[in-house]
């Protein structure tokens, strides 16, 4: 049952990634230049107060190096890439295991 929920969540994340890719593609065609909506912009629009608190928490727990480099890198990635990676990871983690060759599964 839990596998089904996680696979459904992965499917929804992959659908969201495709929708974000279509939105970025439409904006790119309209402006005659490549336009990518970053993950940081989306977080700032969805929860402006929480995004600042999140960066401070990462700085305290992991260290200033991670906050300066790693978090900045992740927040600069496009929305569709983050959603596709999370959805693909959920699909990968919830796949059925292969039966070993030469052994009966009955």
**Which domain does 59 fall in, by range?**
38-77
Reported as a single tens digit per residue, the pLDDT across 14-44 is: 999 999 999 999 999 999 999 999 998 988 8
Buried b (16+ CB within 10 A) or exposed e, 58-75: beeeeeeeebeeebeeeb
Q: Is residue 101 part of a domain?
A: no
Q: Is residue 50 part of a domain?
A: yes
Q: Do 26 and 3 belong to one domain?
A: yes
CB 104 within 8 Å of CB 37: no
CB 43 within 8 Å of CB 5: no
Q: Do 59 and 44 belong to one domain?
A: yes
Q: Is residue 11 part of a domain?
A: yes
- Number of domains, the chain: 2
Q: Is residue 103 part of a domain?
A: no
Q: Which two tokens stand for residue 93?
A: 């983690």
Q: What is the pLDDT of residue 105?
A: 65
Q: Is residue 2 part of a domain?
A: yes
Q: Do 42 and 73 belong to one domain?
A: yes
Q: Is residue 106 part of a domain?
A: no
Q: Do 57 and 68 belong to one domain?
A: yes
Q: Do 45 and 70 belong to one domain?
A: yes
Q: Within 10 A of 78 (CB to CB), how many other CB atoms are there?
A: 19
Reported as a single tens digit per residue, the pLDDT across 55-87 is: 778 778 887 777 778 888 888 999 999 999 999
């Amino acid at each position: 049952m839990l596998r089904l929920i996680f696979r459904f969540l992965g499917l929804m994340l992959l659908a969201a990634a495709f929708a974000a890719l279509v939105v970025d593609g439409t904006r790119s065609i309209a402006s005659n230049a490549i336009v990518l909506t970053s993950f940081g912009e989306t977080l700032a629009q969805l929860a402006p107060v929480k995004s600042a608190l999140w960066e401070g928490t990462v700085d305290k727990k992991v260290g200033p190096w991670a906050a300066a480099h790693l978090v900045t890198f992740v927040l600069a990635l496009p929305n569709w890439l983050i959603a596709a990676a999370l959805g693909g990871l959920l699909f990968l983690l919830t796949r059925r295991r292969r039966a070993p060759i030469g052994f009966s599964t009955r």
